[in-house]
Structure 1
């Protein structure tokens, strides 16, 4: 079943707002219905805002090609049927030919401009018919995935396409070695905007779920690790519970959503809120290929959590499959706890005060590229994380030795931070006190944050240069999008120092000034 579901999902180009995302959701629904699950579709109207997040418009890519020539010699060419990530998501259509120029500090304009950076900013600020984007942080031989996700009133007469880092380096080298050389670029992008609704899928075996399992099903083709893997793990868990005997059953809901876009509507979609949430995002890889480590991503330490200790315990129970020379059980895969990090659907449910944990593998060699294929996954690992997630929910529902599990995990957390403090030199006085004492936020008394703060919204509120510097500061997104807003709404003091200690970060004075400047705007203009 796992292989079949992976094949189904990865054959679609699942960009948010696209027909193919909806087709993937509908086909998954058919499979789950056929397996005996009770499912229903959620339809989200495209465009507009909810809370502090923008909802994408409808958009479909029909076809695209890109060609580089010197004289009559074609030096490189790409087509979207072979490179699904060739066109930036939600790029306007267009076609033409023009001379290539390189974006520099002195000049960043021309018919065709090669550039790197925040793609929405490049689209807004570069005067060109075609913007070619490369990303040194992605696998150098792959075409990276980027997304504009512009609204209808932001559509301009320009196209944004992506090329591999190796191609960008080759083009730059050619023009540096011979400034008089003319590289001609021809392109054609057939895309369209639509008013089609965006689909999400929910399956519940009860009206009062103990645990909600979430996984985003969007992202470009093939998108195997990110996130067909989490979507299939979620389906395996749902299928197992639907076919379990009474002793193995626990009440649950399962959601397959466009990332953030679908999750922010789940509260209204569920008849009752869950007691806990397990988010599955990029799991079950062949770690020898992806270079990943399985992260058990904790909620912020200012919040009380019971699901997180169970999540760690379940992973140890399922994945300690290797042995020492003396026969002691050891991890069969790489895994570790990690402090709260923003970037997936757990951000939304944490903001609502729902006890949430995420299983996520990071880094991932082919992340956000056309090479994120099925070969990056391990069926064995995918089944193991499904079992661990299932066990997490079962233990939570049974309240299996709750006091002991929480106490032992608390001791482990203290030891983990103690060792990390020795490694990093970060003083952890506040975090140590927080772990020892009652958490500042109890789950039944949290003032909710409707949605996290999107960085797109922040881009529109603050100075451009400040924003671009902000993007490069480690932890700034996590702090500003959820940690600080949620803490602020609940009267938590010393938020910045708590966050730095929790995430083992040492910001420079200048970085703190930039972050505090952005936080002031969020607090005074966005959260007001």
Structure 2
């Protein structure tokens, strides 16, 4: 592939080999293993010709106390060994950290030797004092009910997030996989000295059956972990040569082994891109950053904001190498909300479609562009006003399990994504009339769609002003399609009481009835509200945007915002 005389090529096999290396590390944030991996990646970057002067390590507190926006940092957690056995009614091995690195709940405290505990089944809030609790529900909820309020010492969990029977992502079709699960692990949480294991569906059913047949079931467990205050590392490759504005490519490096697609794939592809960009001319100033998910990207973005050094564009790579046949996944471009510049979404999509693998001109891969969604490291940057399209794959039969291994990675998928990103970077600073026409056609059609749906409604005037910028209406001359008199001003302010992404703490206080009324991914809605409140600062505009963007009834959105205001996440006032 050549553009403007530059020869470019992402090597899928080379990138997959790096994924295999990364996936051998359990990459818990701040841990010795994470730091050893960072050193290996720095050595790799030097060997492929990235100048040492371009490689930086940023450090942020990981002490269980320090807050970054809405995120409280975790403690540094170092897993060493763990075993779980059945003691009564008979002796039988269940699982171990050696057998599956996802078997130990992230955040588990040490047992200081072997611990024998009676096993009981989780029945909601209650008295579990001194016991181990078998459960199949959200770990955070079970931790609060059984450990914090119920006095339990251990949790034995089998819980699969994001079930999707249509592609075979459900426990009954994956009875042997072990899910990657975490329990809360701030300094306050560690005071409970709780530990736990994630077990397969097969082992869960076995233990549940024993509980039904026996009056007393006892487990025997040994867990060795190190929990300490320390710091997390962000590996930054600065190829800007101190020029501005610049593009930032992000990928999270954390997760237990193997975590091949999630997210050794994004990290390895980002490093492959760094090697190419460092050698070739013609690219815009670019930084690449590998970090712990959320807990690294949030302080990193906040630091940039304080230093007035934010990128003008962030491209987030998270789960970018899926073998679609094996995982059941589709490649997704998660777009930027329409109150921020949309050109970059359409630029990436143009190149993804151009490079899509085909047979006789017919696409042989699944690809979709989705509305803005939460769940990765684009969120803090989007919340701070940076267009941050996110490339990844979902749903996936094996993500967040010990079966997310390198054999599920497709070299051609990595090349498809990687070369699309490279083309997009080059075309940020080059002229391509065909591409310009494509982007203009997308911008005008979406501009008209949104304007038609908001005009005559409270809050529409401020949205219209944002759409004029987001879709480059004045530049392309279609701003005259609508008169400002067609749109109505807002009356109420809506301002976040935090910086960056809203995070997830609020989720566990959200009433179940409100979740059902909203009937969508409420974490994405919360992030969209955050973006709108930061960019526009109007309640009516935010409610209207959510209604037309996600198709959620305005009354339901208003009830959700009331909840967030009542819980101190946002404040209101006269506009």
TM range (shorter): 0.7 to 0.9
Give runs of aligned pairs for residues 476-491 of structure 1, distance below 5 A.
476-480=522-526, 482-489=527-534, 490-491=536-537
Between the two proteins, the alignment pairs up a number of residues equal to 499
Q: Which residue of 1 aligns with 2:321?
A: 284
Query: Which whole-Å CA distance do the structure 1 matches of 2:86 and 2:468 have between them?
Result: 56
Counterpart check, 1:6 vs 2:33: no
1-structure distance, mates of 2:397, 2:229: 35
**Deviation at residue 350 of structure 1 after TM alignment:** 0.7
Q: Does structure 1 conserve the Cα–Cα contact (< 8 Å) formed by 2:126 and 2:145?
A: no
Structure 2: state its 5+ residue gaps.
1-13, 164-169, 471-494
Which residue pairs with 1:424 in the alignment?
A: none
Moved more, 59-68 or 297-306: 297-306
State the match for 2:250 in structure 1. Answer: 214
Matched, 1:273 2:310: yes
- Note if 1:453 corresponds to 2:499: no
Match of 2:183 in 1: 148
Contact 1:85/1:144 (8 A) holds in 2: yes
Q: Residues 263-286 of structure 1: CA distance to partner in whole angstroms, max 9, x if unpaired?
A: 223343688332211100011110
User: Which of 312, 315, 335 pairs up with 2:349?
Assistant: 312
- Could you say what secondary structure the match of 2:142 adopts? helix
Q: Distance in 2 between matches of 1:49 and 1:467?
A: 30
Instruction: State the match for 1:116 in structure 2.
Output: 136
The answer to whether structure 1 residue 132 and structure 2 residue 181 are counterparts is: no
1:105–1:514 CA distance, 2 compared to 1 (3 A): farther
Matched, 1:232 2:279: no
- 1:106-131 CA-to-partner distances (Å, cap 9, x unmatched) read 85626111113332332232122211
Matched, 1:335 2:364: no
Cα distance in 1 for partners of 2:368, 2:455 equals 19
Cα distance change on mapping 1:514 and 1:209 into 2, 3 Å? closer
Relative to structure 1, the CA distance from residue 473 to residue 84 in structure 2 (aligned partners, 3 Å threshold; closer, same or farther) is farther
Q: Compute the displacement of 1:251 (Å).
A: 2.0
Partner of 2:96: 79
Partner of 1:359: 391
| Alignment check: 8 A CA contact 1:66 1:77 kept | yes
RMSD: 3.3
What is the distance in 2 between the residues matched to 1:467 and 1:219? Answer: 33
Cα distance change, pair 512–64 in 1 and its aligned pair in 2 (3 A):
farther
Q: Secondary structure at the match of 2:34?
A: helix
Could you say what secondary structure the match of 2:368 adopts?
strand
User: Matched residue of 1:40: which SS?
Assistant: strand
1:44 paired residue number: 60
Name the structure 1 match of 2:466: 439
Shift in CA distance, 524/4, structure 1 to aligned 2, threshold 3 Å: closer
- 1:498 counterpart = 2:514: no
Residue 99 of structure 1 is matched in structure 2 by: 118
Moved more, 396-405 or 146-155: 396-405
Gaps of 5+ in 1: 324-328, 419-427
Is 1:349 the counterpart of 2:384? The answer is no
Counterpart of 1:389? 421
SS of 2:196's equivalent in the other structure is strand
CA 1:487–1:45 in 2, change beyond 3 Å: closer, same or farther?
same
Does 25-34 or 166-175 show the bigger shift? 166-175
User: Does the Cα contact within 8 Å between 2:335 and 2:389 map onto a contact in 1?
Assistant: yes
Offset from partner CA, 1:323-348 (integer Å, 9 cap, x none): 3xxxxx33231101000001111111
Q: Distance in 1 between matches of 2:387 and 2:199?
A: 40
Structure 1 residues 115 and 472, CA gap change in structure 2 (3 angstroms): farther
Q: Which residue of 1 aligns with 2:298?
A: 264
